[in-house]
Amino acid sequence: ETQNVTFKRVLLKISGEALMGDQGFGLHPPTVQRIAREVKTVHDLGVEICMVIGGGNIFRGLSGSAQGMERTTADYMGMLATIMNALAMQSALEELGVFTRVISAIRMDEVAEPYIRRRAVRHLEKKRVCIFAAGTGNPYFTTDTAATLRANEMNCEAIFKGTKVDGVYDKDPVKHSDAKRYDVVTYDEVLQKHLGVMDASAIALARDNDLPIIVFSLDEPGGFRGILAGQGTYTRVH
């Protein structure tokens, strides 16, 4: 049924919060394992997979700086949080027999590979899942921007943004029962209407390089694989 997957290489972006399950903070290993199984079903189809995981379940630079921390230091702490999440995902994937590399934008040689573009491409060709950690390596950015950057560098055909809801809505569907989902929406509409898919720099970077963003629900079992085959509900930003 889902054999008609036409994608060769994609990037899956998930927020750190997707890994905390019902807890208010941190990592929930069963949830990490569930998402790893979703990734494996797509990997099994031969699709080359990049991943970027946020760090918001552990630390966000903005909340640190709102409480008086120096902003760039707080941002580096946020980047370090993404490394912990990446290692948790690596462990869960390898437990399933999927080979991976954690590739960090901040050097941490004992823990993760440094980011070297050609080397990362080679890993993908060898069907290793590349988990890009530490964001862009720069403060004042987000992991959404990091995802867009790496997807462009790796020549991914699209970014798949797994969220709590099955697409982009005109208002928050959790709070408003009359919220309407878009099937497709343009980058400029997302920016003008502040639709909150990703931050503005990530959207602009995707737009300027014609990189489609597919927003789908990560809670739907089999969802990631289904969405890759064009099934289920999702929003395509392009």
If the CB atoms of residues 158 and 198 are measured against ligand UDP, the closer one turns out to be: 198
Which residue among 56, 162, 167, 226 contacts ligand UDP (CB under 6 A)? 56
Rounded to whole angstroms, how far apart are CA atoms 231 and 142?
29
* 31 touches ligand UDP (CB under 6 A): no
User: Least distance (Å) from ligand UDP to the CB of residue 6?
Assistant: 27
* 79 touches ligand UDP (CB under 6 A): yes
- Provide φ and ψ at 177, rounded to 5°: -70, -20
Rounded to whole angstroms, how far apart are CA atoms 92 and 18?
15
If the CB atoms of residues 55 and 226 are measured against ligand UDP, the closer one turns out to be: 55
> Under a CB-based contact definition with an 8 Å cutoff, are residues 203 and 187 in contact?
yes
Rounded to whole angstroms, how far apart are CA atoms 72 and 46?
39
Which residue among 135, 167, 223, 226 contacts ligand UDP (CB under 6 A)? 135
* 75 touches ligand UDP (CB under 6 A): yes
Nearest CA to 34 out of 21, 51, 48 is that of 21
CB atoms within 10 A of CB 210: 9
Q: Under the rule (CB under 6 A), what is the footprint of ligand UDP?
A: 15-17, 54-56, 60-62, 75, 78-79, 81-82, 135-136, 138-139, 141-144, 146
